[in-house]
């Protein structure tokens, strides 16, 4: 599905303002799904490359010249891994953004803290592929608008399910440790709903 960012933010997510371009009939996060996705997205990427170069629209009165660019590609955690052609969060390099090898004591896998900044995947590394947790080159790297690994984002709906509920709630508060129940706050909720939200968010630890 495509969103057109020239449309008002209030309207752009409505069904009549979106473009449904494909329904992919397979599961995600596997070598086969990544290969199938690259093949199925091929014609779409070719069209996007043409739109980046520009095109002319002729009318009875005049000609118009247009360009269009793909600004971002999003999805849930597994879908974004496929778009990047990342081997996934269970691979030796589980982070799709940074090159961080996982430590695996026994059957566990985790990323140890480090005082040093981690290397962020570059455009060149993504375009080459086959390194540090990446499969084949991401098909999106062909686009002029492909600027960094942050081209791939996680959509808001799935971020709310990534165990960050309490952090999201704090973003809406008018004070660092405040409450949504503040004067003139358009996000004010009935007390019973607010209590349920706090109980739910307190049931899991912060990431």
What is the pLDDT at residue 19? 84
Are residues 38 and 96 located together in one domain of the fold? Answer: yes
Are residues 88 and 178 located together in one domain of the fold? Answer: no
Mean pLDDT of the chain: 78
Q: What's the CA gap between 114 and 136, in Å, rounded?
A: 29
Mean pLDDT of 46-66: 89
pLDDT at 195 over 80: no
Mean pLDDT of 174-178: 48
Q: What's the CA gap between 107 and 109, in Å, rounded?
A: 7
Q: Is residue 129 part of a domain?
A: yes
DSSP result, 90-152? TSSS--SSB--PPB-STT--B----SSPPPBPPHHHHHH-SSTTB-SPPGGGGSTT--SGGGE
How many domains does the chain contain in total?
Answer: 2
What is the pLDDT at residue 27? 61
More confident residue, 173 or 71: 71
How confident is the model over 95-107, as pLDDT tens digits? 888 898 888 777 7
Are residues 184 and 198 located together in one domain of the fold? Answer: yes
Are residues 153 and 90 located together in one domain of the fold? Answer: yes
Domain that holds residue 53: 15-159
Are residues 144 and 169 located together in one domain of the fold? Answer: no
The whole model's pTM is what? Answer: 0.68
Are residues 43 and 121 located together in one domain of the fold? Answer: yes
Q: Is residue 72 part of a domain?
A: yes
């Amino acid at each position: 599905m495509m969103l057109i960012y020239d449309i008002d933010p209030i309207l752009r997510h409505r069904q009549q303002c979106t473009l449904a371009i494909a329904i992919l009939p397979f599961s995600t996060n596997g070598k086969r799904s990544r290969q199938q996705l690259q093949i199925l997205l091929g014609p779409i990427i070719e069209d996007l490359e043409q739109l980046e170069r520009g095109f002319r629209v002729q009318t009875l009165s005049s000609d118009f010249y247009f360009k269009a660019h793909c600004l971002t590609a999003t999805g849930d955690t597994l879908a974004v891994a496929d778009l990047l052609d990342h081997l996934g969060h269970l691979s030796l390099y589980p982070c799709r953004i940074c090159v961080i090898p996982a430590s695996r004591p026994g059957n566990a896998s985790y990323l140890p803290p480090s005082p040093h900044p981690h290397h962020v995947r570059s455009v060149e590394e993504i375009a080459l592929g086959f390194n540090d947790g990446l499969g084949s080159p991401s098909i999106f790297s062909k686009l002029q608008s492909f600027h960094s690994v942050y081209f791939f984002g996680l959509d808001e709906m799935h971020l709310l399910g990534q165990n960050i509920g309490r952090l999201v709630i704090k973003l809406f508060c008018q004070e660092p440790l405040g409450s949504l129940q503040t004067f003139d706050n358009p996000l004010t909720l009935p007390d019973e709903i607010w209590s349920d939200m706090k109980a739910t968010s307190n049931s899991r630890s912060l990431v």
